[in-house]
Chains A and B, each alone.
Chain A
Amino acid sequence: MHRIAVSLIVHTRDSAATLPRLLATTSWAAERIIVDMQSSDATVEIARAAGCRVLDCAIVDAVDAIRNQYLPEARHDWMLVLDSDEYLAADAEEALCQVVAAHGDKFDAFALPRFNSVAGQIMQGSGFYPDHQIRLFRKGTVAWQQGNHRVQQVLTGAKRLRLLETPDCMHIHHENYLDIASFVARQARYALTDTYDPDPGNFDFSTYVAEAYAEFERRHEPSKDGELSTAVATVLAWDRIMRGLIHWDRLGRQHPLNAAFSLPIVPLASPSPRLRHLPREIGRRLRRFLARERR
């Protein structure tokens, strides 16, 4: 295997619980940089003990806003960016080297599929898989946009980006949410800390409603993930509504919110079997009554 020197960058904040596993699965990286946001737990000690270069930074709400300024810290041509609650498989180095060897001349960036688990279940669909993330790239070819979880930009053009095709390829592994409650809490935090267009002329609540329906449709795959799919689809659809309301609030609550919404659309249960047979019962009693009258 032709080894590729890779610079790994990880942003951390109080990540002592999850960082060890990430570090254990990336020890092959030529360089590991931890950008730490004032952790108050053992994050920094863990990182230093593993031989990582630790950089301090101020606390920010949205880490994507500061990623770009630390990318130049990498010394090697190829970079891998992971979140502190992610990790890789045991054969990640081999898989990565194969990808770069086979395609590194024609592509500058690779979107890696990601396994996500919610409430202990690894999601097979519902927008959570394959969930490609642009995380492996040549230095200087990728930039993050402002806001929470916005898509990165491949600066050398979309044609220089390759999506790794599942199933037989390198994955990122991610344990997202222990339960639905923590999923809801995190979505709320992202919504509250995101940036919103300050121009009131551009606000229309019904566009958020349209996004909510689109999100629910995209995510709802009970055939793949069962009831959990319905739960996450509903949370993420309502996330769009919440963002619309936060945006509305920040603009001074002046705009009308006259947009109907109801997610998901669920029909009533069928009428009770007793009611369905009611006409027959009435007929039976009527015949008995008439028979009595004739006697």
Chain B
Amino acid sequence: MDLSVIIPSWGLTALLRSCVLHLDQALARTQLGKACIVVVDNGSAIPYRPEDLAPPHVRIVRLDLRHSFSAACNRGARDVPAARYLFLNNDVFLHPNALADMLGIFADHRIGICGTRLVLPDDMIQHCGVRFDAGERGPYHQDHGQRSARVSRATTFPQAVTGAAMMIDHAAFATLNGFDEAFPFGYEDVDLCLRARQLGIRIACGQRWDSLHLESTSNRKPDRHKASRDLFFQRWRGRYSIDGDESG
């Protein structure tokens, strides 16, 4: 299998369907041989059915219990091993060219992980790479809230990218033992990226195409990230390089 796309999802069937339709369109524009879409049904109240999701090549991995994002992703990767994985949030609608762009970056550069630019419905940047500020701020989305048209389209090589749309080589994922399941919700992607870079694995972020991210549609609790954040800082405080704040 050339690519497994793993989408951990809880409820919101219509949203998931749109996500998969956009993904299918993006897959069609790549030169990939065999690709598989793996929806990890992460304890949805009503289990997903294949006919809910339209494309015939969607595989559903049903989990009756609600697991962490990291555990759901790891389970999906184990279920359909591939040369490369794309972890995708169910509220990310990929631009039709985004996947081809990411695969092109893998081909052109010596990298192990690739992200892509994500925008909010009003064309403001939601993600185009993760930077690290000093103090309590820590990791943050570079240029968040900036108009996408104003930010350079050159491929970047940040310290981390979001797990909402993250492509990673099998070798890198296996060496890192996947996402750390100790993180309940959030920061598992940044942790993975920092661990990857310690091993010399380089990270890129494609900037040419704007994919839509509706952001935290499924879990809107205000303190949803707190436990993960505490764990992240316990592990990494003082151990990541500071590469800027919004003013520089």
Contacts and interface: CB of A to CB of B under 8 A. Distances in A.
Interface of A: 200, 252-257
A254 B151 CA distance: 9
Given A252-B153, A254-B154, A256-B152, 10 more contacts: A200-B154, A253-B153, A254-B152, A254-B153, A254-B207, A254-B208, A255-B152, A255-B154, A256-B154, A257-B152
Interface in B125-181: 152-154
Nearest to A256: B152
B107 to A, nearest CB: 14
13 contacts: A200-B154, A252-B153, A253-B153, A254-B152, A254-B153, A254-B154, A254-B207, A254-B208, A255-B152, A255-B154, A256-B152, A256-B154, A257-B152
A255 B207 CA distance: 11
Contacts of B208: 254
Contacts of B152: 254-257
Interface of B: 152-154, 207-208
A257 B150 CA distance: 12
Nearest to A252: B153
A207 to B, nearest CB: 16
Contacts of B153: 252-254
Nearest to B156: A256
A245 to B, nearest CB: 14
A87 B207 CA distance: 55
B117 to A, nearest CB: 12
Contacts of A200: 154
A252 B207 CA distance: 13
A252 B208 CA distance: 11
A223 B208 CA distance: 50
B221 to A, nearest CB: 37
Nearest to B152: A256
Contacts of A257: 152
A254 B155 CA distance: 9
A208 to B, nearest CB: 16
State the 10 A-B residue pairs at the shortest beta-carbon distance, nearest first. A256-B152, A254-B153, A254-B154, A255-B154, A256-B154, A255-B152, A254-B152, A253-B153, A252-B153, A200-B154
Contacts of A252: 153
A255 B154 CA distance: 5
A257 B151 CA distance: 10
A289 B152 CA distance: 63
A197 to B, nearest CB: 16
A192 B152 CA distance: 23
Nearest to B155: A254
Contacts of B207: 254
A273 B153 CA distance: 51
A151 to B, nearest CB: 32
Nearest to A253: B153
Contacts of A256: 152, 154
A234 B152 CA distance: 28
Counting chain A CB atoms within 10 Å of each CB, the highest count among B153, B154, B207, B208 belongs to: B154
A260 to B, nearest CB: 11
A34 to B, nearest CB: 48
A254 B207 CA distance: 9
Counting chain A CB atoms within 10 Å of each CB, the highest count among B152, B207, B208 belongs to: B152
Contacts of A253: 153
A200 B208 CA distance: 14
Counting chain B CB atoms within 10 Å of each CB, the highest count among A200, A253, A254, A257 belongs to: A254
Contacts of A255: 152, 154
A256 B150 CA distance: 10
A253 B207 CA distance: 12
A256 B154 CA distance: 7
Nearest to A251: B154
A254 B209 CA distance: 12
A102 B208 CA distance: 63
Contacts of B154: 200, 254-256
